[in-house]
């Protein structure tokens, strides 16, 4: 049952992107927005709080499976997060919705690629427990598109830009070329997602005549629990639309 559910989500996401690309999809809202709490996840994987998650090291086969399982879950939740951006925040320019649909479509592809990788290792998504915390960010930032943009693409996804190059290096040193290729592909797309997040964050700040750098700091302080975690990949973050002042602040606060 849960497999069908997952596959339908992937298929519908790709289908919506195709419709949109051929000008056959209207982003006009026809219903009132439901609360984030209405969102349903598949029965598997079971979701655990981060402290109950087993630790993983990628230098054993089971550690590698655990790593890619965790990543599959991040991508799966990322599909939901992109769709929620489209669904929840109304009255924005058409391009906003097209951009987040592109993100949803790429996240769906990432999920499929990682799932294939897991299957090749004799495992599947749903075999292990997964982190329950990712969706909390959607809940916490449901009322404010700027908070959502600051926390989801410009904090969570941006963290991927810091961590993924290190993981690519580790897999490379193990001679695991399939994992290297997969992560390299995903990293490229993720730079684009953060860039879309930065673009809309700045644009919507400008419309409200807010200083986007100050607003970013204010929102991270308000919605991010704990100190920002470094080290930060300045080079990729700059490509993804961060300013040096923002990265300086992150480094000082870490």
Q: How far is the CB of 105 from Fe ion (least distance, A)?
A: 11
Burial class (CB in 10 A: 0-12, 13-18, 19+), 104: buried
Site for Fe ion in 153-182 (CB under 5 A): 157
Site for Fe ion in 58-117 (CB under 5 A): 75, 78, 107, 110
Q: How far is the CB of 190 from Fe ion (least distance, A)?
A: 5
What is the token pair recorded at 101?
């649909």
Specify the residue, 192 or 230, whose C-beta has the smaller distance to Fe ion: 192
Among 17, 193, 202, 237, binds Fe ion (CB under 5 A): 193
CB half-sphere exposure, 156, CA atoms < 13 A: 23
Site for Fe ion in 117-146 (CB under 5 A): none
> Applying CB under 5 A, what is the total number of residues that bind Fe ion?
7
- If we measure between CA atoms, which residue out of 13, 135, 121, 14 comes closest to residue 73? 135
How many other C-beta atoms lie within 10 A of the C-beta of residue 216? 26
Q: How far is the CB of 32 from Fe ion (least distance, A)?
A: 28
Q: Which stretch binds Fe ion (CB under 5 A): 41-49, 138-146, 183-191, 208-216?
A: 183-191
Please give the full DSSP string across 121-164, using - where no structure is assigned: TT--TTSS-EESSTTHHHHHTTT-HHHHHHHIIIIIIHHHHHHH
Specify the residue, 113 or 217, whose C-beta has the smaller distance to Fe ion: 113
Specify the residue, 104 or 204, whose C-beta has the smaller distance to Fe ion: 104
Supply the DSSP symbol for 248. Answer: H
Q: Which residues contact 190 (CB under 8 A, 6 or more apart)?
A: 157, 160, 161, 164
Specify the residue, 109 or 205, whose C-beta has the smaller distance to Fe ion: 109
Q: How far is the CB of 82 from Fe ion (least distance, A)?
A: 7
CB 75 within 8 A of CB 107: yes
Specify the residue, 108 or 128, whose C-beta has the smaller distance to Fe ion: 108
Binding mask 196-235 for Fe ion (x = CB under 5 A): ----------------------------------------
Specify the residue, 59 or 186, whose C-beta has the smaller distance to Fe ion: 186
Q: How far is the CB of 100 from Fe ion (least distance, A)?
A: 10
Specify the residue, 99 or 157, whose C-beta has the smaller distance to Fe ion: 157
Taking every pair of Cα atoms in the chain, the longest distance, rounded to a whole number of angstroms, is 53
Contacts 24+ apart (CB under 8 A), 174-178: 174/58, 174/59, 176/64, 178/117, 178/120
CB half-sphere exposure, 100, CA atoms < 13 A: 27
Contacts with Fe ion by CB under 5 A lie at 75, 78, 107, 110, 157, 190, 193
């Amino acid at each position: 049952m849960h497999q069908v559910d997952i596959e339908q989500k992937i298929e519908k996401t790709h289908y919506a992107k195709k419709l949109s690309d051929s000008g056959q999809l209207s982003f006009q809202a026809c219903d009132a927005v439901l609360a984030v709490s209405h969102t349903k996840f598949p029965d598997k994987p079971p979701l655990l709080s981060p402290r109950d998650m087993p630790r993983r090291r990628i230098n054993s086969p089971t550690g590698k499976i655990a790593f890619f399982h965790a990543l599959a879950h991040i991508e799966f939740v990322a599909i939901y997060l992109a769709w929620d951006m489209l669904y929840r925040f109304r009255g924005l320019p058409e391009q906003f919705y097209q951009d987040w649909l592109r993100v949803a479509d790429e996240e769906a592809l990432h999920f499929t690629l990682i799932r294939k990788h897991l299957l090749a290792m004799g495992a599947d998504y749903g075999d292990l427990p997964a982190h329950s915390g990712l969706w909390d960010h959607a809940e916490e930032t449901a009322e404010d598109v700027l908070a959502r943009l600051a926390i989801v693409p410009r904090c969570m996804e941006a963290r991927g830009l810091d961590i993924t190059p290190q993981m690519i290096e580790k897999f490379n040193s193990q001679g695991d070329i399939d994992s290297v290729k997969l992560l390299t592909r995903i990293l490229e797309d993720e730079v684009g997602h953060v860039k879309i997040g930065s673009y809309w964050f700045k644009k919507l700040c400008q419309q409200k005549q807010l200083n986007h750098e100050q607003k970013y700091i204010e929102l991270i302080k308000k919605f991010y629990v704990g100190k920002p975690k470094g080290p930060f990949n300045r080079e990729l973050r700059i490509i993804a639309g961060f300013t040096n002042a923002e990265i300086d602040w992150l480094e000082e606060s870490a």
